[in-house]
Amino acid sequence: MTSPPPPDRPPFRAPASPAQPGVGGRFGRGAKPPPEGSPPSKKRFGAVVHALGEVDSTQAVARALADDRAPEGTVVTAEHQRAGRGRGGRSWLDRPGEALLCSVVLRPAIDAAEVPQLALLAAVAVAEAVEALTGLAPGIKWPNDLVVEDRKLAGILAEAATDSRAVTRVILGMGINVSQREFPVDLAARATSLALLTGREVDRGALLDGLLTRLEHWYDIYLDHGFKPIHAEWCRRTVTLGRTVVAGGAQGTAVGLDHDGALLVRDAAHRTHRVVAGEVLDAPGG
Ligand code: BTN
């Protein structure tokens, strides 16, 4: 999993030194300075981008920056992670240059119990960014996996620090499979990439740009109006509702997303279970 990217692939972005983040632009590629006299950009997400080469995890870099008072919207990207983290303590593997790996610093005034809503929000943003760039319409598998034809295209990890129940910062990590033409044998049946789905190379810089735009859009709505508008959009894009699933110890039909992001599963005895965390598996014979 550590072979170098093929020589014909353009670099994601010249890795900047961690001490010298790109400031003022979403991403280096194709970015032009604004014309003189134009109003300053109000964009917070990606106003500061730390575009790095190889790191343990962009989550760890972003957390250290956040602990050092990095502003909300600070972004960390990497070409490769030596120890990428997935949900549930799993690892997230990549080969250099093949995935969009990024973490964003957020400082919402929410309770710890609401943090999963940010991952649901991010799933909507990733789906929209992918759709805008490729025409694909990824589905959201509860809680926040992006899938196409039942194969995972992207994953999201929200990690929070709290002061008793209040959140002091959230690091929102997103990994999108972009250029992979093949996967390790144990993942091959379950994973996909934009290159496999579209048959072409997709520009990671443009994808990051679109992702940050949609993320900021939904985040601002979330801060102003709460989870309800995101709930509606998540439900429109999910592939989980209506399926027969096993989740959080319950087996039955996924019938809804609760107001707070919990999955509602109705069992054979018509009891409804709230599942607040975990994975959804297709039920045997479902
Ligand atoms: C999952 O589906 O298990 C979540 C995967 C999240 C992976 C991303 S890649 C960028 C960021 N850095 C990490 O170490 N993890 C997240």
Residues 86 and 203 in one domain: yes
Residues 184 and 200 in one domain: yes
Residues 145 and 182 in one domain: yes
* CB of 78 sitting under 6 A from ligand 1: no
In a domain, 70, yes or no: yes
Which residues have CB under 8 Å from 157's CB, separation 6+? 59, 85, 86, 87, 92, 119, 172, 173, 174
Provide the domain count of the chain.
2
- Confidence category of residue 102, pLDDT binned at 50, 70, 90: very high
* Distance from residue 144's CA to the centre of ligand 1 (Å): 11
The Cα 272–Cα 256 span in angstroms is 10
Residues 249 and 230 in one domain: no
The Cα 265–Cα 247 span in angstroms is 8
Q: Which residue has the tokens 């929000």?
A: 121
| CA atoms within 13 Å, Cβ hemisphere of 139 | 11
Nearest to 103 by CA among 153, 135, 64: 64
Its pTM stands at 0.87
Give per-residue pLDDT as tens, 3-38: 333 333 333 333 333 334 544 334 443 334 445 655
Residues 89 and 172 in one domain: yes
Residues 180 and 55 in one domain: yes
Give per-residue pLDDT as tens, 145-195: 999 999 999 999 999 999 888 999 999 999 999 999 999 999 999 999 999
pLDDT of residue 283: 75
pLDDT of residue 41: 61
Residues 99 and 182 in one domain: yes
CATH number, domain of 82, equals 3.30.930.10
CATH number, domain of 267, equals 2.30.30.100
CA torsion sign, 34 to 121 to 104 to 70? positive
Query: Domain range for residue 249?
Result: 244-282
* CB of 176 sitting under 6 A from ligand 1: no
Residues 197 and 263 in one domain: no
Report which ligand 1 atom has the smallest distance to the Cα of 155. Answer: 2
Report which ligand 1 atom has the smallest distance to the Cα of 94. Answer: 9
